[in-house]
Amino acid sequence: MGVANWVMIWTAIMPLAVILYYFFRKKYKDQRVSSTLFWQERMKELQASPYLKKLQHHLLFYLQLAALLFCVLALIEPFNESETLAGNDFVFIVDTSATMLAGSPTHFEKQQAQMKKLASQAGGKPVTIVTTGVSPEVVIRNEQNVERVEKAIDQLAVSYENAEMEQTILFADTLATNDSTIIHIFTDYLDRAALANKTGQSYQVHGFSEKLTNVAIRQLGLSETDKGTRGIVQVINNSETSMNATVRLSSGSFEKAVEVKLEAAEELLVPFDELPNYKLWQAELDVSDDYAADNTMATYLAPPVNAIVIDSALHELIASGFRSLALDVSLAEATQLQPDAGLPLVTNQRDLLEATTPIFMFGRNDENPFEVTGQIETKPHPLFTYASLDEVYVSQLYPPFKGYETIATIDDHPFIQVSPKGDIVVLTDVQLTDWPLSPSFPLFLWSAMESLSDDAEFLGFFQPNEHRSMSLASPTGEWEIFRDGAYRHSYIEGSGPFVAPNEPGIYQVVGDEKDMTMIVQLTSQEKELSAGSSYVMGQSKAVQDTVRFSFVPFIIGIILLLVLLEWEVYRRGIATR
């Protein structure tokens, strides 16, 4: 509360002048007195309280005095101040990655409360909410109703997929209407470098500086030995203190547990020997930390493929790469390749893509390459789990295949594609790249073999909410997805790409005549917690503005009402004379 014009306080003498005028004005009234005895009594009554009686008999005076007092109040301009967000409209970027589930209450719940608080301070200005991910989504657009904004905030949920914050920020920039738009980013951690070169908008980052404890299962691997199945669980302590934990490996009714102690920032390989020959296994970490989403991991032990057939027309480096994986490599002429042999084929023959056997295509024999420059950009895919292509150089590419999923590009040109039935296509020749000199080359070949040799009962490994083109070949084309016997959703072939569930775990994909298992896993980025901070970057450094709410319009309305009442009192007084 306050006033903006104390100088006009001198006008308070006006109601005082009216009061004095009513006190001392002379007003004569004819009055008949029947006797001098009664006259004396009448005079005593008037002299007892002359000023009070004058006030008691003048309603018009009260109304005039009240109107003058409100006029004085209006002249000094009283107001009330309230805090509101700086800017004319706002874009809320909400991090929905798995790490937002850390803490108790979780970071996501705290950010929801913060968003609702800021929405209430928006003062009716437009609010847009965008969620993060590979495909950012607009939840609401330019909404001015606070209740609808709060309802949309309450309905937000964690999607478990990578935030892809830089991509989401670029998308949010396109939603900004002008330079006065303020973009609020609600996350756990965001490096300032992500906003260092952005000067067109103003950004307010809401992060968390608290350091939480976390022990995660980084990897789970299984292999068949002479004594049965051997498993290795890689556990890492991302905390600054030592942690005690129990690592459990289970499949069906079988379970085996190992007690471990991890020092700060320690990585530990926990072996499990002489396991039964089951296919589906799950590792679970029993530990008291602040983040539980990375405490479980599943894997599937697919039958190993020990042999592969390679087109002899391809470069020798391809065969050398597969031999380094301890595979039985056979070379064959292009005319001798058997498309229905069941073994994976490595070739550049375009016609063999129609075969039923798995195909790993390196180059094309039906097109000419064109020159490209630039770095390789990859999309999240299991083929790149262990193979990084950051330092690989490619000079030329072949034209892509229509209808295939592109998982790696160079200058926006497809570099690596996956066909609907799972064939892998690398659109270059070995001699056109230095890839064989990189350690990622044999790792990529190994990942490709794992992908091509998937079990018929195993659909594959997926990331949360991953979109993938797949041909499941069901008679009706309808598949139902279950987890722990509970129905989740359905997928209709031909309606679009197959979308994996957003929550990590083991799922059953059930068709008319087929039942397959799929595993949804967190990415390695979602298994690391980082402490951040809140800061402001961009054009404006102001976080909040002060808005004045003036009472003058309401006071003027009261004054007009009092004037109407005065007129009515005056009119009635004249009428009764």
* 381 shares its domain with 489: no
Condensed to tens digits (0 to 9), the pLDDT of residues 449-459 reads: 877 876 667 88
Report the range out of 177-181, 387-391, 468-472 with the highest average pLDDT.
Answer: 387-391
* pLDDT higher than 70, residue 85: no
Residues 158 and 105 in one domain: yes
- The residue behind tokens 């000023």 is 51
170 inside domain? yes
Mean pLDDT over 157-181 rounds to 89
Dump pLDDT digits (tens) for 92-129: 999 999 999 999 999 999 999 999 998 888 878 899 99
Percentage of residues of the chain with pLDDT beyond 90: 39
Higher pLDDT, 216 or 32: 216
**Residue bearing the bigger pLDDT, 561 or 20:** 561
Q: What is the mean pLDDT of residues 185-189?
A: 94
- Same domain assignment for residues 446 and 476: no
64 part of a folded domain: yes
Q: Is residue 507 part of a domain?
A: yes
Range of 42-51, 380-389, 420-429 with top mean pLDDT: 420-429
pLDDT given for residue 38 in this prediction: 60
- Whether 191 has a pLDDT exceeding 70, the answer reads yes
My answer on whether 248 and 353 are in the same domain is no
Question: Which range has the worst mean pLDDT, 98-102, 193-197, 472-476?
Answer: 472-476
pLDDT band at 23 (very low <50, low <70, confident <90, very high): low
Residue 186: what pLDDT?
A: 95
Which CATH number characterizes residue 360's domain? 3.40.50.880
Query: How many domains in the chain?
Result: 5
Asked if the structure places residue 122 within a domain, the reply is: yes
Do both 100 and 179 map to the same domain?
yes
Confidence class for position 552, pLDDT limits 50, 70, 90 = confident
Residue 423 is encoded by which pair of tokens?
A: 């064939």
More confident residue, 198 or 433: 433
| CATH code of the domain in which 113 resides | 3.40.50.410
pLDDT band at 11 (very low <50, low <70, confident <90, very high): confident
How high is the pLDDT of residue 356? 75
Burial of 490 (0-12, 13-18, 19+ CB in 10 A): exposed
CATH code of the domain covering residue 504: 2.60.40
Q: Where does the pLDDT of residue 61 fall: very low under 50, low under 70, confident under 90, or very high at 90 and above?
A: confident
Nearest Cα neighbor of 422 from 383, 377, 378, 376 is 383
Look at residue 346 and tell me if it is in a domain.
Answer: yes
- Residue 295 belongs to some domain of the structure: no
The contacts found for 480-488 with CB under 8 angstroms, 24 or more apart, are 480/509, 480/510, 480/511, 481/507, 481/508, 481/509, 481/510, 481/518, 482/507, 482/508, 482/510, 483/507, 483/508
Residue 42's pLDDT is: 59
Boundary of a domain, candidates 452, 468, 489? 452
Q: Which of 405, 423, 452 is the last residue of a domain?
A: 452
Residues 101 and 193 in one domain: yes
Shared domain check, 92 and 71: no
In 254-374, which ranges are E strands?
Answer: 254-262, 267-275, 280-286, 296-300, 307-311, 328-332, 345-347, 359-362, 370-371
For residues 234 and 371, membership in a common domain is answered with no
Q: Which range marks the domain in which residue 362 is found?
A: 307-452
> Is the pLDDT reported for residue 3 higher than 90?
no
pLDDT average, residue stretch 74-99:
81
State yes or no: pLDDT of 274 exceeds 60: yes
Q: What is the pLDDT of residue 52?
A: 46
Average pLDDT of the chain? 84
205 plus 247 within the same structural domain? no
54 compared with 247, residue with greater pLDDT? 247
* 301 within domain boundaries: no
Report which secondary-structure segment, H or E, holds 481.
Answer: strand 478-483
Whether the pLDDT of residue 49 is over 60: the answer is no
Q: Which pLDDT belongs to residue 20?
A: 67
Residues 476 and 441 in one domain: no
Cα angle 459, 296, 253 (rounded to 5 degrees) comes to 75
Q: State residue 56's pLDDT score.
A: 46
More confident residue, 550 or 88: 88
Read off the pLDDT of each residue in 490-495 and give the average, rounded to a whole number.
83
In a domain, 344, yes or no: yes
Query: What CATH number should be reported for the domain holding residue 259?
Result: 2.60.40.10
Q: Which of 381-390, 504-513, 558-567 has the highest mean pLDDT?
A: 504-513
pLDDT at 50 over 60: no
Instruction: Please tell me whether residues 382 and 441 are part of one structural domain.
Output: yes
- Indicate if 437 and 473 belong to the same structural domain: no
Residue that finishes a domain, picked among 424, 452, 480: 452
